[in-house]
Amino acid sequence: MAHDRDHGDHHHPHPHQKDHPVRVWERRESAIRSLLIEKGFLSAEQIHRKIEEWDHKSFAQGARVVAHAWANPAYEARLLADANAATAELGIDTTGPKIVALKNTAKLHHLVVCTLCSCYPRMLLGLPPAWYKSAEYRSRAVSEPRQVLAEFGTMLPPDTELRVVDSTADCRYLVLPRRPAGTEGWDEAKLAHLVSRDSMIGVAPALPAGSLLPA
């Protein structure tokens, strides 16, 4: 996949130095930000703090949710029925958009994309990777998803049904990957190490049990 160098995400105003000429949207964001500060709606410090807060969010929350679901079938059922309530059970603040969990099985695989912009379950996965926001991923994930998966190294058997979900509106989608073989009896903290960000977007399976270095 081509990697998008565009960091101009409207949720994530970066007042840092640019490695490319300033674009029109960046100029607009900068003008709006200056006005908000000048008129006293926000302080520069508040903006910096928010950026740092988002930069520190990772996909660890999502991994914790998946590992908990792998270890607890009753929790998995609650997660699939109402993901906002189920994630709140784990103390995660998911008061924003509606979250929907999609369970992968041996015969069914889910892939998440936002063709219109970069909608992403940020409350669970942090900020989306650059490729998720690229025009290439956003267009090809809907029109030739199996080829896109293959480029991520995920060879989907022909008889596995592929369901792409385009998060166009008020819902955010979390893929619940399959639990790797050979992890019977593992505790949740150990299981969580196998839950990669990409597996919760659906471009890859969870990491194999053998990928963990011996403790």
- Interacting residues with other proteins (CB under 8 A): 98, 100, 115-116, 142-147, 158-171
State how far the Cα of 156 lies from the Cα of 136, in Å rounded to an integer.
20
State how far the Cα of 118 lies from the Cα of 69, in Å rounded to an integer.
26
Q: What's the closest the beta carbon of residue 22 comes to other proteins, in angstroms?
A: 24
State how far the Cα of 146 lies from the Cα of 23, in Å rounded to an integer.
34
Nearer to other proteins, 117 or 189 (CB): 117
Nearer to other proteins, 66 or 141 (CB): 141
Q: What's the closest the beta carbon of residue 146 comes to other proteins, in angstroms?
A: 5
State how far the Cα of 107 lies from the Cα of 104, in Å rounded to an integer.
8
Q: What's the closest the beta carbon of residue 79 comes to other proteins, in angstroms?
A: 16
Known catalytic residues are: 114, 117-119
Nearer to other proteins, 78 or 140 (CB): 140
Expressed in percent and rounded to 5, the helix, strand and coil fractions of the chain are 45, 10, 45
